[in-house]
């Protein structure tokens, strides 16, 4: 389901921004209610990935409320499911009573699910990495059906297949197994939108990853368009070049069209000044915060803690019980002796004694 804002409406950008704010509020409130207001007997929080949802709000608002057509299909990244449900609610596709049921039994699922969610979901996208490739197979199936008489609406375009992916989700090998197939690059209706929010459960994705990922897509034969390069500065400056009069009408009073659309240098100068102020503010604030942390709790753990592993040093526990694992292996292979008798895994203590793996053990859950 898609809502289209008329092109003739000079304030359409303002309308989209208002819708965007409503979607952001709803998706954040859903997660907040699930963790802080809904009674939980165990006292444990259920999560919900507010940051990973917030970084997708603008993209998904633009898609659902302006761009999508009837035959388009979208694979929504798993951790943005609250945004999908918020949009479906605003479009009348989800009853209000479900907004308080995120991650509860019989309620809205943690990840978009065609079989368990009560609202419209084009592709089920859990586990992470699997749903990202689903539009590829959807495009192939659509092409097959369109090639057979009587199976497709007459006169309607085939429709696009969108995949909304988080940058850390591209750590999953399934993504590249599909992307590197030469046939996939020829599917012009497939469009992947990579949300470079740098969020991952056990790390911050390096900023250089955006350039690396763009190069990997290009090497696989894809056309790559980078938006908001250099921390968003590129996008800010492009507004000063390409903003139309209609787009400027959706901004604050006094906004002008871009340089290439008859507005002169006025808006470009404003955008450049704004980018400079934001950069200076972020730099000074980060410097002060870093200095404060360095002088109080320190920016790095000790060398001993690094060797032992953060799990052990900070929490006095490990992510995996390696002793129990080795005990199970001893029992499983006791009759054969191939793994235990030679001592390759157990006797030398390489896996257990040093604590290298036990201390750092963890599971990445991309955003």
Residue 148 has what pLDDT?
Answer: 83
Lowest mean pLDDT among 22-26, 45-49, 86-90, 330-334: 330-334
Lowest mean pLDDT among 43-57, 95-109, 197-211, 329-343: 329-343
Residue 284 has what pLDDT?
Answer: 95
Q: Please, which residues have CB within 8 angstroms of residue 269's CB and are 6 or more apart in sequence?
A: 240
pLDDT in tens, 303-329: 777 766 666 666 666 655 666 666 776
Residue 352 has what pLDDT?
Answer: 38
Identify the residue whose tokens are 């990973």: 52
Across the chain, what does the average pLDDT equal?
79
**Residue 270 to residue 87: CA distance in whole angstroms:** 33
Residue 323 has what pLDDT?
Answer: 64
Residue 333 has what pLDDT?
Answer: 67
* Residue with more model confidence, 229 or 182: 182
The domains found in the chain, sorted by start residue, are 12-226 (3.40.50.970), 303-360 (no CATH)
Torsion of CA 350, 355, 358, 362, to 10 degrees: -110
Confidence of residue 234 (pLDDT cuts 50, 70, 90): confident
Torsion of CA 239, 241, 245, 251, to 10 degrees: 20
Please report, for residues 18, 52, 200, 332, the alpha-carbon distance to residue 62 in angstroms, rounded to integers and kept in the order given. 12, 17, 25, 55
pLDDT exceeds 90 at position 26: yes
- Mean pLDDT over residues 139-144, rounded? 90
* Residue with more model confidence, 363 or 259: 259
pLDDT exceeds 70 at position 200: no
Confidence of residue 231 (pLDDT cuts 50, 70, 90): low
């Amino acid at each position: 389901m898609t809502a289209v804002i008329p092109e003739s409406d000079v304030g359409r950008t303002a309308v989209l921004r208002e819708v965007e704010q409503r979607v952001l509020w709803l998706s954040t409130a859903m997660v907040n209610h699930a963790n802080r207001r809904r009674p939980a007997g165990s006292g444990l929080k259920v999560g919900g990935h507010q940051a990973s949802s917030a970084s997708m709000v603008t993209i998904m608002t633009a898609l659902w409320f302006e761009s999508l057509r009837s035959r388009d299909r979208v694979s929504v990244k798993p951790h943005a499911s609250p945004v999908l449900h918020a949009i479906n609610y605003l479009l009348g596709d989800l009853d209000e009573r479900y907004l308080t049921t995120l991650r509860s039994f019989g309620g809205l699922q943690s990840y978009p699910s065609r079989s368990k969610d009560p609202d419209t979901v084009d592709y089920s996208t859990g586990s992470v990495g699997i749903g990202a490739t689903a539009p590829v197979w959807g495009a192939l199936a659509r092409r097959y059906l369109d090639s057979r008489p009587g199976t497709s609406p007459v006169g309607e375009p085939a429709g696009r297949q969108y995949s909304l992916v988080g940058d850390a989700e591209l750590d999953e090998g399934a993504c590249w197994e599909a992307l590197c197939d030469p046939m996939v690059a020829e599917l012009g209706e497939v469009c992947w939108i990579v949300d470079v929010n740098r969020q991952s459960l056990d790390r911050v994705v390096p900023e250089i990853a955006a350039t690396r990922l763009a190069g990997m897509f290009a090497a696989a034969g894809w056309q790559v368009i980078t938006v908001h390069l250099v921390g968003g500065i590129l996008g800010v400056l492009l507004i000063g070049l390409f903003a139309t009069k209609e787009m400027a009408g959706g901004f604050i009073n006094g906004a002008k069209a871009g340089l290439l659309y008859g507005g002169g240098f006025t808006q470009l100068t404003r955008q450049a000044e704004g980018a400079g102020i934001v950069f200076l503010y972020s730099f000074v604030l980060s410097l002060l915060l870093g200095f404060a942390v360095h002088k109080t709790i320190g920016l790095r753990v000790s060398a001993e803690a690094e060797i032992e592993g953060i799990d052990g040093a900070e929490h006095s526990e490990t992510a995996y019980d390696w002793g129990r694992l080795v005990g199970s292996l001893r029992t499983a292979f006791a009759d054969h002796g191939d793994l235990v008798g030679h001592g390759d895994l157990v006797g030398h203590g390489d896996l257990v004694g040093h604590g290298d793996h036990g201390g750092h053990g963890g599971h990445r859950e991309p955003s």
